[in-house]
Structure 1
Amino acid sequence: MRAIIEPPPEGDEPAGPLWRRLAWFFGLALAGLLATAAVAYGLRALLAAG
């Protein structure tokens, strides 16, 4: 069975494909955006309720 989390490549090994690295980048950026929006709307709802 292949490990879900793999160690980073050694210095002489090439990095993964560009599309995979970009997909991770955009996925993490989108997750951060959604988390920030959820917190902001939650705080806004708390302020409006008070």
Structure 2
Amino acid sequence: MLESMPREARTELETTVDYYADLFVPFLKVCQGKESFVQVREFIDEIYSFYFS
């Protein structure tokens, strides 16, 4: 796929990295005690509603 459709593959990879970065940062804040799990869960629910609506 990388050789036959490099532009599309790049876009897919960038989207995947952005998606997981959006999830990693909130979980890091929970681990550091900066936010509660409930706050992070609400944030993740908002992300999912944005991506999948």
- Normalising by structure 2, we get a TM-score of 0.48
Q: Hey, which of these two has a bigger chunk of helix by percent?
A: 2
Matched, 1:37 2:24: yes
Determine which structure has greater relative contact order: mean sequence separation of CA pairs < 8 Å that are 6+ residues apart, divided by chain length. 2
- Normalising by structure 1, we get a TM-score of 0.51
Q: Greater CA radius of gyration, 1 or 2?
A: 1
Report sequence identity in percent. Answer: 3
Could you list the runs of 5+ residues in structure 2 that have no partner in the other structure? 35-53
Q: Which runs of 4+ in 1 moved over 2 A?
A: none
Could you list the runs of 5+ residues in structure 1 that have no partner in the other structure? 1-16
